Amino acid sequence: MIRYALKCPEGHAFESWFQSSSAFERLVAEGMIACPECGTAEGIEKALMAPRVTPAKSRAPQGASEGAGAQAAAGALTSPEARARREAIAALQARIEANADYVGMEFASEARAIHEGLAPERPIYGETRPEEAKALIEEGVPVTPLPFTPKRKTN
Protein backbone atom coordinates (compact mmCIF):
# COMPACT_ATOMS: atom_id res chain seq x y z
CA MET A 1 0.00 0.00 0.00
CA ILE A 2 1.16 3.53 -0.81
CA ARG A 3 0.10 6.70 0.98
CA TYR A 4 -0.07 9.78 -1.22
CA ALA A 5 -0.43 13.41 -0.26
CA LEU A 6 -3.03 14.79 -2.67
CA LYS A 7 -4.41 18.17 -3.62
CA CYS A 8 -7.41 19.44 -5.55
CA PRO A 9 -7.50 22.41 -7.97
CA GLU A 10 -8.81 24.59 -5.11
CA GLY A 11 -5.59 23.93 -3.17
CA HIS A 12 -7.10 21.67 -0.49
CA ALA A 13 -4.63 19.06 0.75
CA PHE A 14 -5.53 15.54 1.88
CA GLU A 15 -4.07 12.04 1.99
CA SER A 16 -5.20 8.60 0.92
CA TRP A 17 -3.85 5.06 0.61
CA PHE A 18 -3.63 3.14 -2.66
CA GLN A 19 -2.67 -0.36 -3.69
CA SER A 20 -0.16 0.95 -6.20
CA SER A 21 0.71 3.95 -8.32
CA SER A 22 -1.28 2.49 -11.22
CA ALA A 23 -4.31 1.99 -8.95
CA PHE A 24 -4.11 5.68 -8.03
CA GLU A 25 -3.89 6.70 -11.70
CA ARG A 26 -6.87 4.50 -12.62
CA LEU A 27 -9.04 5.81 -9.77
CA VAL A 28 -8.20 9.42 -10.66
CA ALA A 29 -9.03 8.77 -14.32
CA GLU A 30 -12.39 7.26 -13.32
CA GLY A 31 -13.19 10.22 -11.04
CA MET A 32 -13.30 7.98 -7.97
CA ILE A 33 -11.14 10.24 -5.79
CA ALA A 34 -12.76 13.40 -4.47
CA CYS A 35 -11.55 16.21 -2.24
CA PRO A 36 -13.04 15.80 1.25
CA GLU A 37 -13.41 19.58 1.62
CA CYS A 38 -15.01 20.71 -1.65
CA GLY A 39 -16.05 17.38 -3.20
CA THR A 40 -14.40 17.95 -6.58
CA ALA A 41 -13.19 14.80 -8.31
CA GLU A 42 -11.57 16.53 -11.29
CA GLY A 43 -7.97 17.68 -11.25
CA ILE A 44 -6.90 15.66 -8.20
CA GLU A 45 -3.14 15.25 -8.26
CA LYS A 46 -0.27 14.13 -6.10
CA ALA A 47 1.25 16.82 -3.90
CA LEU A 48 4.92 17.11 -3.08
CA MET A 49 5.64 14.71 -0.25
CA ALA A 50 8.69 14.22 1.95
CA PRO A 51 9.48 10.75 3.24
CA ARG A 52 8.70 10.21 6.89
CA VAL A 53 11.98 9.21 8.53
CA THR A 54 12.43 9.03 12.27
CA PRO A 55 15.71 8.23 13.95
CA ALA A 56 16.06 5.16 16.11
CA LYS A 57 15.87 5.82 19.88
CA SER A 58 19.53 4.90 20.27
CA ARG A 59 20.45 7.56 17.72
CA ALA A 60 18.50 10.41 19.33
CA PRO A 61 20.70 13.48 19.79
CA GLN A 62 22.20 13.79 23.26
CA GLY A 63 20.29 16.22 25.43
CA ALA A 64 17.05 15.67 23.52
CA SER A 65 14.29 14.54 25.81
CA GLU A 66 11.28 12.40 25.01
CA GLY A 67 9.16 15.05 26.69
CA ALA A 68 10.16 17.63 24.06
CA GLY A 69 9.15 15.25 21.28
CA ALA A 70 5.82 14.57 22.96
CA GLN A 71 5.21 18.30 23.34
CA ALA A 72 5.96 18.88 19.65
CA ALA A 73 3.61 16.05 18.69
CA ALA A 74 0.88 17.44 20.94
CA GLY A 75 1.35 20.86 19.36
CA ALA A 76 0.98 19.34 15.89
CA LEU A 77 -2.29 17.70 16.95
CA THR A 78 -3.75 21.01 18.14
CA SER A 79 -2.62 23.20 15.26
CA PRO A 80 -5.36 25.01 13.33
CA GLU A 81 -4.61 22.88 10.26
CA ALA A 82 -4.95 19.63 12.23
CA ARG A 83 -8.15 20.87 13.83
CA ALA A 84 -9.56 21.79 10.40
CA ARG A 85 -8.66 18.33 9.05
CA ARG A 86 -10.36 16.63 12.01
CA GLU A 87 -13.48 18.76 11.47
CA ALA A 88 -13.50 17.96 7.72
CA ILE A 89 -13.17 14.24 8.43
CA ALA A 90 -15.96 14.43 11.02
CA ALA A 91 -18.20 16.20 8.48
CA LEU A 92 -17.38 13.58 5.84
CA GLN A 93 -18.16 10.80 8.31
CA ALA A 94 -21.52 12.39 9.21
CA ARG A 95 -22.40 12.77 5.50
CA ILE A 96 -21.47 9.15 4.71
CA GLU A 97 -23.35 7.79 7.73
CA ALA A 98 -26.45 9.81 6.77
CA ASN A 99 -26.46 8.86 3.08
CA ALA A 100 -25.03 5.34 2.86
CA ASP A 101 -25.90 1.92 4.24
CA TYR A 102 -23.52 0.43 6.79
CA VAL A 103 -22.91 -3.20 5.79
CA GLY A 104 -20.26 -4.00 8.41
CA MET A 105 -17.91 -6.87 7.69
CA GLU A 106 -20.01 -7.85 4.66
CA PHE A 107 -18.59 -4.88 2.74
CA ALA A 108 -16.52 -6.87 0.24
CA SER A 109 -19.30 -9.29 -0.71
CA GLU A 110 -21.93 -6.52 -0.86
CA ALA A 111 -19.70 -4.22 -2.97
CA ARG A 112 -18.98 -7.11 -5.33
CA ALA A 113 -22.72 -7.95 -5.61
CA ILE A 114 -23.59 -4.32 -6.40
CA HIS A 115 -20.80 -4.14 -8.97
CA GLU A 116 -22.05 -7.34 -10.66
CA GLY A 117 -25.67 -6.14 -10.65
CA LEU A 118 -26.78 -8.83 -8.18
CA ALA A 119 -27.79 -6.30 -5.50
CA PRO A 120 -29.50 -2.92 -5.83
CA GLU A 121 -27.11 -0.07 -6.53
CA ARG A 122 -26.72 2.19 -3.52
CA PRO A 123 -23.96 3.85 -1.53
CA ILE A 124 -22.51 1.56 1.12
CA TYR A 125 -19.70 1.63 3.63
CA GLY A 126 -18.30 -0.95 5.97
CA GLU A 127 -15.20 -2.86 6.89
CA THR A 128 -13.04 -5.44 5.20
CA ARG A 129 -9.62 -7.00 5.49
CA PRO A 130 -6.81 -5.34 3.49
CA GLU A 131 -6.44 -8.38 1.22
CA GLU A 132 -10.17 -8.28 0.38
CA ALA A 133 -9.96 -4.54 -0.39
CA LYS A 134 -6.98 -5.26 -2.66
CA ALA A 135 -8.96 -7.99 -4.47
CA LEU A 136 -11.90 -5.59 -4.99
CA ILE A 137 -9.60 -3.00 -6.55
CA GLU A 138 -8.00 -5.63 -8.80
CA GLU A 139 -11.50 -6.72 -9.93
CA GLY A 140 -12.35 -3.13 -10.87
CA VAL A 141 -14.89 -2.61 -8.07
CA PRO A 142 -14.85 1.13 -7.28
CA VAL A 143 -13.89 1.37 -3.61
CA THR A 144 -11.88 3.84 -1.58
CA PRO A 145 -10.56 3.75 1.97
CA LEU A 146 -12.23 6.07 4.44
CA PRO A 147 -10.19 8.40 6.63
CA PHE A 148 -12.10 7.21 9.71
CA THR A 149 -13.17 3.98 11.37
CA PRO A 150 -16.91 3.43 10.99
CA LYS A 151 -18.97 3.29 14.13
CA ARG A 152 -20.11 -0.30 14.40
CA LYS A 153 -23.86 -0.50 14.47
CA THR A 154 -25.27 -3.08 16.84
CA ASN A 155 -28.78 -4.16 17.77
pLDDT tens digits for range 76-90: 556 788 888 889 899
* In a domain? residue 55: no
* In a domain? residue 34: yes
DSSP 125: E
Q: Indicate yes or no: pTM above 0.85.
A: no
**Sheet harboring 13-18: ordered strands across?**
13-18, 2-7, 45-46
How many structural domains is the chain composed of? 2
pLDDT tens digits for range 28-65: 888 888 888 888 888 898 887 766 676 766 554 554 44
By CB atoms closer than 10 A (0-12, 13-18, 19+), residue 44 is buried
**In this structure, are 46 and 90 located in the same domain?**
no
State the residue range of the domain holding 129.
86-155
**In this structure, are 37 and 95 located in the same domain?**
no
Per-residue pLDDT averaged across 65-77, rounded? 51
**In this structure, are 91 and 150 located in the same domain?**
yes
